[in-house]
Amino acid sequence: MNKTIDREDIIGARVAKLDAPEKVTGRTRYINDMVLPRMLRAKIFRTDRVHAKILKIDTSKAEALPGVVAVITGVDAPDGKIGVIKDNPPLKKDKVRCIRDELAAVAAETEEICDAALRLIEVEYEDLPPVFTCEDALKPGAPVIEVDRPDNIAMAQDFSAGDIAEGEKASDHIVEGKYNVHYVTHCNMGVSCCLADISVDGKVTLYSQSQYPYIMKMDLAPALGIHPGDLRIIQPPVGGAFGSKLDVYPYEPICVLLARKTGRPVKLEFSREEEFIASPTRQPVEFRIRAGMTSDGIFTFRDISTLLNNGGYTSWGATTPYVTMRTCSSHYVVPHIRYSARAVYTNNPYAGSFRGYGNVQATWMLETHVDKMAEVAGLDPLEIRLRNANQPHSMTPQGSNLGCIDLVGCIKISAEKSDFLKKWNAYSAQWDNGERYKRGIGIATSLHNAGGAKIHKSDGCGTILTMDDYARVTVMTGASDIGQGSDTVIAQIVAQELGVPLRDITVINNDTALGPWDVGVHASRTTYIAGNSAKRAALDARNQILAAAEKQSNVTADQLDLRGGHVVQADNGEVVIETGRLLRQMHFAGEDAKLVMATDYYEPPTEPEDENHMGDMSAAYSHAAHVAEIIVDTHTGEIEIEKIWSVQDVGKIINLNGLEGQIEGGIAMGIGYGLHEDLKIEKGIVQNPAFRDYHVVTAPEMPPIDMAFIETDDHEGPAGAKGIAELPTIVIAPALGNALYNATGVRIDHPPLNPEKVARAIWERSNKNDAE
């Protein structure tokens, strides 16, 4: 009898990320490491004003500096603008609208010469009256930032369902609140960097950290005055992006313009200080909420209005209400909804997209508010959530079918594992016991898209799969892996279908001249969408192989399987032929010669929202619950997180390692948002552009995280998987705020809960108690 091979399941296994060995040994080559022959370095001259008319830019001294090859200003640039509503000229020539504004750029032989040249550029301004808050910018007669928008409103979204007046009538309690969420920024370890190289016939190759290389061609080309087809985006490994590279920002067109002017490759890299000042932030939001419920704590209506400080230009920050809106309208069952958002121009820095995309802000507001409502209704935090929880396959007010969700499971399991109720009752009884250190426990949950998000006409991804004569597989995917681990997941999915070891698979991304189209890496979509496309391409290749094997053996294709690099009989695992051997036979078959190749373009069965914000734009939805237990030093205000319990509906685990990594990393980011990170902006100027004074979470602060996964087995997702990467960042912060309240009786509505704010609030509360 022939050798036999058992079936092995690599889906759900614990697999090391394919790029890990290179990264941990320091071999990964980022753009920041790249050098091309004849390459120049470039630096941007940025303004130190926030709102001013540009009278004159004198670059003559900089141009005269030895080693400087070119200096450009707005007059050297085509008229095309960038940004979500095309309000941002890469080089400003008329007006300065915020602190980071780019007025000129230098290409020189070294970075040091660039720096010296920047100091020789002289600008004359006429200062204009600035405006920094939404409230001021909306006043009649406020300074106008963008001439085309005299009301200073960059973008507006409104949604309503049901009838608020009816909701009010049905309410026994109405709870109001105001929440202001702050500026934070991505803090990518790899600072922004690009490298432009132009061929003699004017075609542009841009090495970019872009998260959306294919659509980027369309967005970038007008700013260069070229056809999008003449742009090739190559995306070497990226040192973190988290949403910050989902738009074209001025540095990339500037770099290309310098390459064109000098006829040499040009690399432009930010300093860390620039990274803080001149990369996008998370969108700050002012929320006002009125929410009603019956005496049993059943939600009746929600009326939410938001103001977004848009800053000087419009990037994706202004679009975050699309996601904020869904949480506001659809997280928990609420019959009557009204939601409005206004993004208001100011002279502040501007926001882009950022992991969690509007939902980090929404969930902070909503989950804090739900805890307050529970207290008014006399319910505990679990009960109010369970009573109002979304149920599987229910329809949201915006017309989304939530599918196979399990919010109730998330709440129940996290509560059970953390012994939530017992602790919650005990800790809230200790507010006034005079102890310095107090414990608290808090819960929060959220809802997020987990099957893509159709914000463009297509939300698809393509795959080209080829197999060589040794059964080695090359998968060219449109999907970008910016560190999140999608290449590994794609390789696992392909390995499972083709029965080859993981190391025999090479995933190639991302070069727009090689790979098929993809919408970009965002919205927790890559495993779901690119995974489905890869799976379908692999299935196609599998069928080709099995059809050939059927011809060679007397076993029909449906009785064959691919395992361990061999074609085997499905029932007993008996080897029929080595896959590589079969592929060679197929290849060298004279007139019948055939190479195994497959292509696929997967378009999820979703629809973009219509003008009334109705539509099922994601193929799957998911929930997570986080419970945090903390110890508060009531004197210094310092919060130590003792433990976090995370329960998430993941559809189906594909790579356990990657899943845990995403949850840990997401929680670290969410803790930073909730407790420490705070990009301080005063009168439009960033006050703390350094890690010294902008505190990201460091390794010793990370608490133990107890993770549990619910596998709801999504009918559309690859192997049943859902997207998982944003929820961990979204949920943790309000759980911490709720825990602070449970520990001390102090509520802080405006994050972060930094020690000073906490100490002050506790001090004020105890002074008030003393006075009473």
Partner 1 sequence: MALPQNQIPTAFEAFVNATSIDEACKALAIGDGTVVAGGTDLWVQKDEAHKTFGPRLINISNIEELARIEIGRDRIRLGARVTMSDILDNGDLGDIAPALCEAANKFASPQIRNAATIGGNVANASPAADAVVPLLCLDAKIELSKWDGKKISTRDVPADAFFSAPGQSVLAVDELITAISFEHPGTNPIARFFKSGPRPALEIAIVSLGFSARLAGGKLTNVRIALGAVGPTPVRARKTEKLLEGQRLTDDLKAAALDTLADEISPIDDVRGSAWYRQHLARTYLQEALHDAAQS
Specify the amino acid at residue 443: I
User: Of 474 and 688, which has the nearer Cβ to partner 1?
Assistant: 688
User: Of 103 and 204, which has the nearer Cβ to partner 1?
Assistant: 103
User: Of 104 and 505, which has the nearer Cβ to partner 1?
Assistant: 104
Nearest to 712 by CA among 402, 492, 389, 384: 402
Q: Which residues contact 551 (CB under 8 A, 6 or more apart)?
A: none
User: Of 398 and 754, which has the nearer Cβ to partner 1?
Assistant: 754
What is the helix (H) or strand (E) element at residue 733, kind and residue range?
helix 727-744
Query: Least distance (Å) from partner 1 to the CB of residue 636?
Result: 6
Q: Distance (Å, rounded) from C-alpha 223 to C-alpha 596?
A: 41
Query: Least distance (Å) from partner 1 to the CB of residue 190?
Result: 20
Query: Least distance (Å) from partner 1 to the CB of residue 49?
Result: 9
Query: Least distance (Å) from partner 1 to the CB of residue 187?
Result: 14
Query: Least distance (Å) from partner 1 to the CB of residue 239?
Result: 20
User: Of 694 and 741, which has the nearer Cβ to partner 1?
Assistant: 694
Which residues make up the interface to partner 1 (CB under 8 A)? 46-48, 99, 116, 118-119, 271, 273-274, 277, 635-636, 638-640, 675-676, 680, 685, 687-688, 691-693, 695, 698, 700-701, 754-756, 759-760, 763
Query: Least distance (Å) from partner 1 to the CB of residue 736?
Result: 12
Is the distance from CB of 258 to CB of 105 less than 8 angstroms?
A: yes
Query: Least distance (Å) from partner 1 to the CB of residue 772?
Result: 22
Distance (Å) of CA 420 to CA 253, 379, 411, 730, 745: 52, 14, 10, 20, 17
Query: Least distance (Å) from partner 1 to the CB of residue 267?
Result: 18
Query: Least distance (Å) from partner 1 to the CB of residue 48?
Result: 4
Q: Distance (Å, rounded) from C-alpha 1 to C-alpha 575?
A: 9
What is the helix (H) or strand (E) element at residue 420, kind and residue range?
helix 420-428
User: Of 402 and 758, which has the nearer Cβ to partner 1?
Assistant: 758
Q: Distance (Å, rounded) from C-alpha 566 to C-alpha 270?
A: 50
Query: Least distance (Å) from partner 1 to the CB of residue 113?
Result: 11
What is the helix (H) or strand (E) element at residue 233, kind and residue range?
strand 231-234
User: Of 112 and 432, which has the nearer Cβ to partner 1?
Assistant: 112
User: Of 588 and 691, which has the nearer Cβ to partner 1?
Assistant: 691
User: Of 2 and 698, which has the nearer Cβ to partner 1?
Assistant: 698
Q: Which residues contact 435 (CB under 8 A, 6 or more apart)?
A: 634
User: Of 210 and 744, which has the nearer Cβ to partner 1?
Assistant: 744
User: Of 216 and 758, which has the nearer Cβ to partner 1?
Assistant: 758
Q: Residue 752, preceding bond cis, omega within 30 degrees?
A: yes
Q: Distance (Å, rounded) from C-alpha 62 to C-alpha 164?
A: 62
Helix, strand or coil, per DSSP, at residue 203: coil
Distance (Å) of CA 401 to CA 69, 440, 615, 672: 58, 36, 9, 33
Residue length of the chain: 772
Residue ranges with strand state E in 616-766: 621-633, 639-649, 681-682, 685-686, 705-710
Question: Which tokens hold the place of 580?
Answer: 């590589």
DSSP symbol at 13: B
User: Quick one: how far is CA 538 from the chain centroid?
Assistant: 28
User: Of 270 and 602, which has the nearer Cβ to partner 1?
Assistant: 270
Query: Least distance (Å) from partner 1 to the CB of residue 760?
Result: 7
Query: Least distance (Å) from partner 1 to the CB of residue 756?
Result: 4
Q: Distance (Å, rounded) from C-alpha 676 to C-alpha 203?
A: 45
Query: Least distance (Å) from partner 1 to the CB of residue 693?
Result: 5
Q: Distance (Å, rounded) from C-alpha 187 to C-alpha 694?
A: 9
Half-sphere exposure of 326 (CA within 13 A, CB side): 30
User: Of 38 and 635, which has the nearer Cβ to partner 1?
Assistant: 635
* CA dihedral (466, 527, 508, 513) positive or negative: positive
Query: Least distance (Å) from partner 1 to the CB of residue 225?
Result: 29
Is the distance from CB of 722 to CB of 528 less than 8 angstroms?
A: yes
Q: Which residues contact 658 (CB under 8 A, 6 or more apart)?
A: 15, 17, 484, 485, 488, 489
User: Of 652 and 760, which has the nearer Cβ to partner 1?
Assistant: 760
Q: Distance (Å, rounded) from C-alpha 705 to C-alpha 662?
A: 12
Instruction: Please spell the DSSP secondary structure of 512-523, one letter per residue.
Output: TTTSPPB--S-T
